Structure 1
Amino acid sequence: MATTSTSAVISSDRVEGTTVYNAAGDKLGTIDDLMIDKVSGQVRYAVMEFGGFLGMGTDRYPVPWNMLKYDTSQDGYVVPLEKSQLEGAPRYGNDDVPDYDDTYRSTVDKYYGL
């Protein structure tokens, strides 16, 4: 889990496992992975783990990185989403990671209105 730090950068292993909340403070899931653009080096998506029980049957939800804002008071990220919005969002199983090609990225971005 990420901890409070004064640094402007953070290691990806400290981001993975960090809780994601909605604006109401409800826990939506945790960050499972980061998808980084090979050319620019910028994080494009935080892949959030949501659903299931004890890690079984969970799905991965790519959320555009710019939608996440770190909240020091919650020691986690906040997104402007409700659980019901995630239920219809693009997702995949742990063993079914899609190619993040133009078509897939467009699908994700369109879903979130980007």
Structure 2
Amino acid sequence: MDIDQETTALIAASKVQGTEVYNSAGESLGSIHDLMIDKVSGNVAYAIMSFGGFLGIGNSYHPLPWSLLQYDTNKGGYVVNLDKSQLEGAPSYDVGVEPDWDDPEYETEIHDYYGVGPYWGAPRSTHPASPLP
């Protein structure tokens, strides 16, 4: 399979990058900048959405738990049940500034904000990337 192809069930990460993200009202919220993938399970943990700004200036990145996104074939993009005001107060980081992904509190803050369970599906201390107690 060519890296830029997709099937009915699979898509190359390079094709996900740049895909629009809409809210349930059909408004464009941003686009997928990148994906964060759990090294052990291989599951997508977060879609990093580029949000705000004008012509790439003033953009911020919002890690969205992958479980929030639903692909809509009619829109050709992902839909989340969020509005712009919810994203303005959401965990985010500026372009050129990486969050501390090794800090369990950062990921917990993301999941708590959106009210969804963590992708690792167990208490944080048993997640492979977290330090053992």
> TM-score by structure 2 length?
0.80
What's the counterpart of residue 93 of structure 2? 92
Measure, in 2, the Cα distance between the counterparts of 1:97 and 1:10.
26
Larger Rg: 2
Deviations along 1:23-79, one digit per CA (max 9) or x if unpaired, are 010000000010111111110000000001100110000000011000000000000
Say whether 1:111 aligns with 2:93.
no
Say whether 1:51 aligns with 2:52.
yes
| Residue 93 (structure 1) shift | 1.1
Q: Give secondary structure in 2 for the equivalent of 1:85.
A: helix
Aligned residue type for 1:41: G
How many pairs are equivalent?
112
Measure, in 1, the Cα distance between the counterparts of 2:9 and 2:69.
15
Give the unaligned 5+ runs of structure 1.
Answer: none
Residue correspondence of structure 1 range 1-114 to structure 2 within 5 A: 6-101=7-102, 102-114=104-116
- Residue identity over aligned pairs, in percent, reads 56
Give the unaligned 5+ runs of structure 2.
Answer: 1-5, 117-133
> TM-score by structure 1 length?
0.93
